[in-house]
Amino acid sequence: MTILVAGGTGLAGSAIVRELERVNKKVIGISSKDVDLLDRTKTFSFIKDLKPTLIIDAAAKVGGVGSNNAYPVEFLSQNLQIQSNLMDAAHEAKVEKFVFLGSSCIYPRNCAQPIKEDYLLTGELEQTNSAYAVAKIAGIELIKSYRKEYGHTWISVMPTNLYGPNDNFDLENSHVLPALIRKFVEAKRNNSPEVVLWGSGTPLREFLHADDLAKAILICVEKYDDSQQINIGSGDEISIKDLGQKIANLTGFTGKVVWDANRPDGTPRKVLDSTKINKLGWKRAITLDQGIASTVKWYQENK
């Protein structure tokens, strides 16, 4: 049984590869350096030759609120191409199982909290990342369609905001938590008197370590078989302001924190209802303090 992890060097993909190796599964993780998933012909050829039993699709063009807002065409077009090329190639190669990774941004901007799977398509999306969200919603629909038309046991999983080793720490296009880690680590290193952070600090977010996600996905592969997407969240939420203070404390930064209100906040609150995955026997094992501390250490040693 060969398992293919597309996007295997990224944040989620690398964690999934590590977990599969830990439980002694035969796994191959690929990145764009191995095969260009935007190239339909090359994707079909690669999947046909490899003949995997399971594909876990963690490949995507991703970024924070700033880059999503600035480059909607790329986020919509490239993600549609990547996921459809992989699914269509998997179907042609008769791949038994397929796991599609989405994002919690698929849900309406102002829906009730915590967010249940049923809330999908019940309201307007957050406009700063609506293009990315629509691409992920299309991926869920394609999974449903393959199940309906061909009887495939393929599934979609929707993780909350992820963080951990191999994250993107670029200040212009990363997500909030890795961006904060970089800012405070560098401010501490350079003895900077202040750190400027985006927005008002008031939005509430939920964060999950990528290693916890990897364990959840393996459980879903074994126990979940439904056309509806399944949420994977930690159940803990924190304001961006409190998150910034937590990371400042963990990095030893004691200077001033300044909030730039000209930068976007994004969705005001976003926490998932993870009842379904919890009933399958999974819950997050890594606390936010533990996860941030280990990620700070990883960033200091590797970046």
Q: Which residues are catalytic?
A: 132
Cα–Cα distances (Å) from 237 to 203, 272, 283, in that order, read 10, 10, 15
- Which residue spans within the chain are E strands per DSSP? 2-6, 26-30, 54-57, 97-101, 155-159, 161-163, 194-198, 204-209, 230-232, 237-239, 256-260, 269-270
Structure tokens at 303: 């970046």
Rounded to an integer, what distance in angstroms lies between the CA atom of residue 10 and that of residue 193? 33
The gap from C-alpha 35 to its chain's centroid, in whole angstroms, comes to 21
- Cβ-count burial of 10 within 10 angstroms (0-12 exposed, 13-18 middle, 19+ buried)? buried
The answer to whether 149 and 88 are in contact (CB under 8 A) is no
Rounded to an integer, what distance in angstroms lies between the CA atom of residue 139 and that of residue 133? 10
Residue type, 252: G
- To which H or E segment does residue 88 belong? helix 72-92
Rounded to an integer, what distance in angstroms lies between the CA atom of residue 156 and that of residue 154? 7
C-alpha dihedral over 26, 45, 82, 206, to 10 degrees?
A: 0
Non-local CB neighbours of 212 within 8 Å, separated by 6+ positions: 234, 284, 285, 286
Rounded to an integer, what distance in angstroms lies between the CA atom of residue 281 and that of residue 242? 30
Rounded to an integer, what distance in angstroms lies between the CA atom of residue 63 and that of residue 71? 10
